[in-house]
Amino acid sequence: MSPHPSDTVFVLGGPILDSDRRGFVEDHMVVIADGRFVGIEPATLLPSDAARVIDVAGAHIMPGLIDSHTHLMSRSGVEADPRLITTSVVDAVIMAKRQIESGVTSLRDPGCKHHGIHQFRREIAEGRVIGPRAYTAGPNIVGSGAPVDWRNHFVDGADDVRRAVREEIKAGADLIKLVLSHSTADSDWETCLRYLNDEEIAVAVAEAHLLGRRVGCHCEGLPAARAAVDAGIDVIDHGLLLDEALVSQMADQGTFYVPTLWAFSTDTHLNVGKTIPPERAELYELKVAGPHRESVQRAMAAGVKIAAGTDPVHWIPARDAMVRELETLVAAGMAPIDALLAATEVSADAIGDRRLGSIRPGNYADLAVFEGDPLTDLRALARPRLVMKDGETLVDLRHDQAAADALWADIATGLPASDRQPELWGQRK
């Protein structure tokens, strides 16, 4: 091994998640230089004169968590007005810091009603705001026939779609997000409306790919999902009602699936979001939550690449949203190691940036260190000890147990920092 520069950081003292080995390795250390990982090396190679050593005292060391579907500023399904612009900036500053404090160091933001999200991404990147590395879509592309709470960048026909893709990229979008379809609650979730037709979807995907951008989609219902996968879409978001043939095709094509399973669960809507009354819970489980869980289970069995995304149901959600999503995926049949990879390496691949999500040479030095073994207790992810981004320590609770206990207690409550809802529920005009 070649000598390390004097400013090299060594993180050791606990098991390290090695994505290549699909597990934690003992008696090793993470080596960081110039904000990037040098790699995972045997702890016996620690230089005797190392000046920067971080000992985590038995805690579990992981790549920083990645939320592949969350909204920092506002959802795409809201109305943009001066009040929204102001409150969304304030919310974003609060939420970005809370994400870091929860161990989330990168995120994919697939929808904001205004282009301010791109500037906020830059503010984080330039260090003026503490927050995760963000990959942002901005306003979603949707047919003009969509109801009020889905109206973003209106399109009608292939030429409009092509123009919209170009305009969103020009405005700063890292990725393109389409709104394809939605099941309506006022029809008892029997009706799933299509907001883009097959040709419009295909043109959007092709144009975005020509310009080097990946494409995701809000998708409910099989016909829209089939059209998106046929068009070569990169990510299916939500993806309710996927059948065996489609998940097989997704696995073959390498289509990523971000099911946001917890966000669609009956308990979440009944007791967290309070978006359905108790008398509707059984019907919702029958029509939405149950079939969605079965879609995810089909995708797991087929080998589809599943990334973890929370799609929080409040504007400033509870800090444990990622933990809840992983717990829900494991309850549906995902192996715990695959859940950890869904929140790290697979999410990085869904974003399309392999410099994230794993402790490999040259990757961004993003680390999250947790008290406890997440392979046996996913709730360990609600007990962060240390969080680093680009090799810089942003959270360090190793020597302040009182502060750690306070943060962990706040995370454990599962309470949002705001009870405001992001959707205009029922206002579909």
Residue 380, pLDDT score: 98
Q: CA 102 to CA 122: how far, in whole Å?
A: 21
Q: CA 122 to CA 118: how far, in whole Å?
A: 6
- Split the chain (429 residues) into runs of 10 and give each run's mean pLDDT: 79 98 97 97 96 97 98 76 84 96 98 93 97 97 85 92 98 98 90 95 98 97 97 97 97 98 95 91 96 98 98 89 98 98 98 97 98 98 98 97 97 86 49
Helix (H, G, I), strand (E, B) or coil at 335: coil
Residue 78, pLDDT score: 65
Helix (H) or strand (E) holding 2: none
Q: What's the one-letter identity of residue 138?
A: G
* Strands 256-258 and 305-306, bridge-based pairing: parallel
Helix (H, G, I), strand (E, B) or coil at 312: coil
Cβ contacts of residue 120 below 8 Å, gap of 6+? Answer: 72, 73, 89, 92, 96, 129, 134, 136
| Token pair for 71 | 């909204």
Residue 2, pLDDT score: 53
Q: CA 224 to CA 180: how far, in whole Å?
A: 6
Q: CA 64 to CA 182: how far, in whole Å?
A: 32
Helix (H, G, I), strand (E, B) or coil at 175: strand
| Token pair for 167 | 């305009």
Query: pTM of the prediction?
Result: 0.96
Q: Give which of 348, 429, 320, 313 is closest to 75, Cα–Cα.
A: 313
Q: CA 369 to CA 14: how far, in whole Å?
A: 9
| Token pair for 282 | 């059984």
* Cβ neighbours around 89 below 10 Å, total: 19
Domains, in order of start, for the chain: 9-64+356-413 (2.30.40.10), 65-351 (3.20.20.140)
Q: CA 72 to CA 79: how far, in whole Å?
A: 16
Rg (CA), the chain: 21
- Looking at residue 263, the DSSP 8-state letter turns out to be G
Residue 426, pLDDT score: 39
Helix (H, G, I), strand (E, B) or coil at 89: helix
Residue 6, pLDDT score: 76
Q: Give which of 104, 88, 354 is closest to 214, Cα–Cα.
A: 354
